[in-house]
Structure 1
């Protein structure tokens, strides 16, 4: 069996990576958003032998998140200019969809309902009905400042300060647009299993649950089903920690990124220690830890066909330096996964 291929995209973003998204149809097209005010469009069809940069799209401020829309030519961006944009990847046209009153941290698109959800540090969600271009976005107040956002086929999960997690039903959002309503109650509100600030959330591809990670080197796995039996399955574990050089305890790193594998349902975590680990959520075990990357792992994404893992690497923001810059120190690595590399131990 041939060894897995891993290589760096060229040219890399000009500053720190904020997010990575693979296209919904093609397994080789991906977008990378950056603090250099740009979104980078790559196509890795030709592998490491050729330049994979297709285009760059300039924004007015650092871009904090990007996601694809209904097809491989539509994307949505969120950023420090407080704006949610639609991006036409063919023409490069950037169309504002809504404006928050603070930076927009995350955007998630629900393909089954044609709905876009944005989460802003002004403690609101903006809901956009993309099936009706004439409709006005609906703003929903949140009980805390959102730090992470993710979607599954039927749910939207918002992780906030104060250890608050709101789970919204996508059918209820669609109903809101049908009826002209303006108020949306969460399907469930939960207290995070993690004691410290949530850094990332990712939903299981089978729509069964989600994982969250924190700044304190922990990951929690939970299921949506609200039964005693289902909730008894939830668990949390320590990861992305290294033994202190003096032998006194551990050095704890933030877990910045989580991504579920679309085929096997296992998930990857990326941390401030510069490592990526693969986990089997059902078996509660680590499958693999990759060699150390040259910097903090800031973002992760699996291609929808499960063949590739993209890893965004740049200096972490936790160092506290006043003149932070990821320029010249930012990389995006592509790993072509072996046939069974991301398969859980109990999977046939």
Structure 2
């Protein structure tokens, strides 16, 4: 949508954030997760103040609160159902709760329970019915049919679940000890494949490609890996450094920052990375090329999301605990910003696929 919030930057590789707009009345505590609806410009936000909030965003980037429901502990993950009408939150209260925005806004029903905090929640459809999948620090993923009060399936993982993503029939689960489990949702009770992360340090985030042929992995060491599911595509796997800055105290080394969030553009298949260094970047995995880099936003970026047509990129700025509790001061920023995606910012590099 041309003219959304303002005009684009003239520099081909350096993006600017001067037209980015703040969401009004953000949570008062750290923001853990954000997700857009597939049906409208509605943004779900989960935070450490035990709440899930839904904001409505108009074409000029104006936002207003539309609905909210509460958990009994910090919310660690939020998602929408495939039709974009129901919001699910999960977190430290070991429960997942579901709100139907079209029926009972501000009223949530518990739909899942674990023995330990739920780190991740996603939704998909099975036979036209809404299903919830939860990943927990109790080392399990569980499947829930929202029409039933009890779990319909449990799969035990090697370790605590840290991150999870879903696209079409592909479910990717990242755990402690760098295990990555790949599930084909047509056969959800077993792992289609298990690998160790190609990155040497702890997995922070996994994110499925827009065509569900693979996924990206981000780690605490400022690296991202591109990984295809099938062996026939393995020649296209690679990893690269990102979210690193020169160390002014030591000319021969870099400061390394965690990759906290990876989001794929719904139209172009390009993707973003965002990290503890407070920057975000857009990339073309097929051309192995950075499309745009953006200046620091004033604090760690904890979560990101594109809206349904890819013309808004939302990012949450909050403390991410990467430096322990002592660095979490009362002056640390806590906000959600909306970046208008203009022109060729997220378009693949001309010239087609390059391996």
Task: Tell me the TM-score normalised to structure 2 length.
Answer: 0.89
Give the superposition deviation at 1:204.
0.7
- Pairing 1:241–2:244 present: yes
> Aligned pair 1:30/2:30, yes or no?
no
- The match for 1:110 among 124, 128, 136 is 124
8 A contact 2:67–2:105 mirrored in 1: no
Q: Distance in 1 between matches of 2:33 and 2:295?
A: 21
> What is the aligned residue count?
333
Number of the residue aligned with 1:206? 211
- In structure 2, what is the equivalent of residue 197 of structure 1? 202
Counterpart CA distance in 2 for 1:92 and 1:191 is 41
* Shift in Å, 1:339: 3.2
Deviation at 1:24, TM superposition (A): 1.2
Distance 2:58 2:351 in 1: 29
2: CA distance between counterparts of 1:79 and 1:44? 25
Are 1:119 and 2:124 matched, yes or no? Answer: no
- Counterpart CA distance in 2 for 1:80 and 1:142 is 19
Query: Displacement of 1:111 after TM fit?
Result: 3.5
Contact 1:124 1:140 in 2 (8 A): yes
- Report what 1:72 is aligned to: 84
Q: Point out where structure 1 has 5 or more consecutive residues left out of the alignment.
A: 174-183
Give the drift of 1:92: 1.6
The answer (yes or no) to whether the contact 1:279–1:288 under 8 Å persists in 2 is yes
Between the aligned partners of 1:326 and 1:283, the Cα distance in structure 2 is: 42
Shift in CA distance, 111/341, structure 1 to aligned 2, threshold 3 Å: farther
Partner of 2:108 in structure 1? Answer: 94
User: Which residue of the other structure, out of 130, 133, 137, is the alignment partner of 2:152?
Assistant: 137
After TM superposition, the structure 1 = structure 2 runs for residues 174-323 of structure 1, keeping only pairs within 5 Å, are: 184-227=189-232, 230-246=233-249, 247-322=251-326
Structure 2: gaps of 5 or more residues: 9-18
**Deviation, structure 1 residue 39:** 1.1
- Give, in whole Å, the separation in 2 of the partners of 1:31 and 1:325: 25
Gap change, CA 1:122 and 1:143, over 3 Å in 2:
same
Q: 1:323 to 1:315 in 2, by over 3 A?
A: closer
| Aligned counterpart for 1:165 among listed residues 167, 173, 180 | 180
Residue 62 (1) aligns with residue 58 (2): no
Per-residue Cα deviation, 1:80-126 (whole angstroms, up to 9, x for no partner): 00001112234322111121011000011124653221000010001
CA contact (8 A) 1:98 1:137 kept: no
Please give the secondary structure, in 2, of the residue aligned with 1:186: coil
Summarize the Cα distance change of 1:111–1:272 in structure 2 as closer, same or farther, 3 Å threshold. Answer: same
1:260, 1:267 within 8 Å by CA — same for their partners in 2?
yes
For the aligned residue pairs, the C-alpha RMSD in angstroms reads: 1.9
